């Protein structure tokens, strides 16, 4: 009976991985729609990379350890990435694509990332053509390095190419490692005015995606994640450096909170609600 339940959990976990892939695709599609809006479907033309000029733009960002990119919203491509990304994230610059970026953003931060991007699009869409170059957007989120470790980066963006109607054709993007500066997980969006324009701090984003809420504690979520990977209570206790009795207590509490009666039902419940 135990083997049968464990087999079902493995099948559910495979289903979860598949659902994650589908979710990442849906999120990327949502992001692409937002970036199409900001570019108003205009063609940017051929990029002439004047890297020395772009490096001068770094002065706008007051950075520490950083890498920078040139992003093309109409074509939804990262056209250039600085070599320093290899030192900070461990990815070769030539391999750093939009698809890769969306897959390494922390799952808890992805909905906020989409909401912030939608808000940035709305903000730039309301600017007159002469003010498109006079603002930079900034917000932070967590990304996964090539070694699997997450760091918090501050993303700052300014427009470097636009058309007569104010459509954003290219942006200069700087990612700064601020893990040592910010320990909480609250993401903050701001628009910084340049050349005397007013700034807007801690902007409330519009909601394109809403993060799912869970009734479980952080520790219970850790136990749940390991249960979904078919780990036994003894192994979970060793991995989390807690007693086997504590793991059993967490299991009982999770079953009670979710109204489920078995681990299989608990994992199914969590998958359906996007908790894991």
The CATH number of whichever domain residue 161 belongs to comes to 3.30.450.20
Mean pLDDT of the chain: 80
Say if residue 129 is in the same domain as residue 48.
yes
Mean pLDDT of 221-234: 88
Say if residue 227 is in the same domain as residue 109.
no
Q: Is residue 198 part of a domain?
A: no
Supply 143's token pair: 């990304």
* pLDDT (0 to 100) of residue 1: 47
Q: Which residue has the higher pLDDT, 60 or 132?
A: 132
Question: What's the pLDDT band for 175 if we cut at 50, 70, 90?
Answer: very high
Q: Which of 123, 158, 193 is the last residue of a domain?
A: 193
* pLDDT (0 to 100) of residue 249: 93
Question: What's the pLDDT band for 42 if we cut at 50, 70, 90?
Answer: low
Lowest-confidence range among 72-86, 131-145, 183-197?
Answer: 183-197
Say if residue 254 is in the same domain as residue 178.
no
Structural domain containing residue 216:
212-272
**Residue 124 above 70 pLDDT?**
yes
Say if residue 125 is in the same domain as residue 228.
no
- The structural domain count of the chain equals 2
- The residues pairing with 159 across neighbouring beta strands, listed in sequence order, are 171
Supply 142's token pair: 């967590």
Write down the pTM of the prediction: 0.61
Q: How far apart are the first and last CA of the chain?
A: 25
Q: Is residue 81 part of a domain?
A: yes
CATH number of the CATH domain containing 256: 1.10.10.10
> Of 191, 188, 183, 182, whose CA–CA distance to 159 is shortest?
191
Supply 81's token pair: 């990435």
Q: Which residue has the higher pLDDT, 236 or 34?
A: 236
Say if residue 96 is in the same domain as residue 183.
yes
Three-state secondary structure readout of 229-242: CCCCHHHHHHHHCC
Q: Which residue has the higher pLDDT, 204 or 59?
A: 204
Q: How far is CA 119 from CA 169, 205, 237, in A?
A: 17, 6, 43
The pLDDT tens digits for 49-77 are 455 555 556 655 656 788 999 999 888 89
**Residue 111 above 60 pLDDT?**
yes
Query: Percent of the chain, pLDDT > 90?
Result: 32
């Amino acid at each position: 009976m135990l083997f049968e339940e464990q087999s079902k959990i493995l099948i559910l976990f495979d289903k979860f991985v598949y659902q994650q892939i589908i979710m990442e695709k849906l999120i990327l599609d949502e992001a692409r729609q937002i970036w199409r809006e900001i570019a108003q479907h205009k063609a940017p033309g051929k990029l002439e990379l004047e890297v020395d000029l772009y490096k001068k733009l770094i002065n706008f960002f007051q950075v520490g350890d950083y890498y920078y990119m040139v992003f093309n919203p109409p074509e939804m491509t990262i056209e250039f990435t600085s070599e320093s990304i290899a030192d900070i994230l461990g990815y070769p610059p030539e391999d750093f694509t939009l698809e890769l970026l969306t897959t390494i953003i922390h799952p808890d931060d992805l909905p906020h990332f989409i909401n912030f991007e939608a808000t940035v699009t709305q903000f730039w869409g309301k600017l007159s053509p002469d003010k498109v170059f006079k603002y930079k957007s900034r917000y932070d989120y967590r990304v996964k390095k090539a070694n699997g470790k997450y760091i918090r980066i501050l993303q700052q963006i300014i427009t470097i190419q636009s058309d007569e109607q104010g459509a954003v054709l290219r942006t200069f993007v700087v990612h700064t490692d601020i893990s040592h500066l910010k320990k909480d997980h609250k993401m903050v969006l701001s628009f910084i005015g340049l050349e005397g324009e007013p700034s807007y701090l801690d902007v409330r984003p519009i909601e394109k995606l809403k993060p799912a809420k869970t009734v479980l504690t952080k520790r219970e979520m850790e136990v749940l994640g390991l249960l979904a990977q078919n780990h036994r209570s003894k192994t979970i206790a060793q991995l989390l450096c807690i007693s086997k009795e504590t793991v059993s207590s967490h299991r009982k509490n999770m079953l009670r909170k979710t109204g489920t009666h078995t681990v299989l039902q608990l994992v199914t419940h969590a998958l359906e609600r996007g908790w894991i």
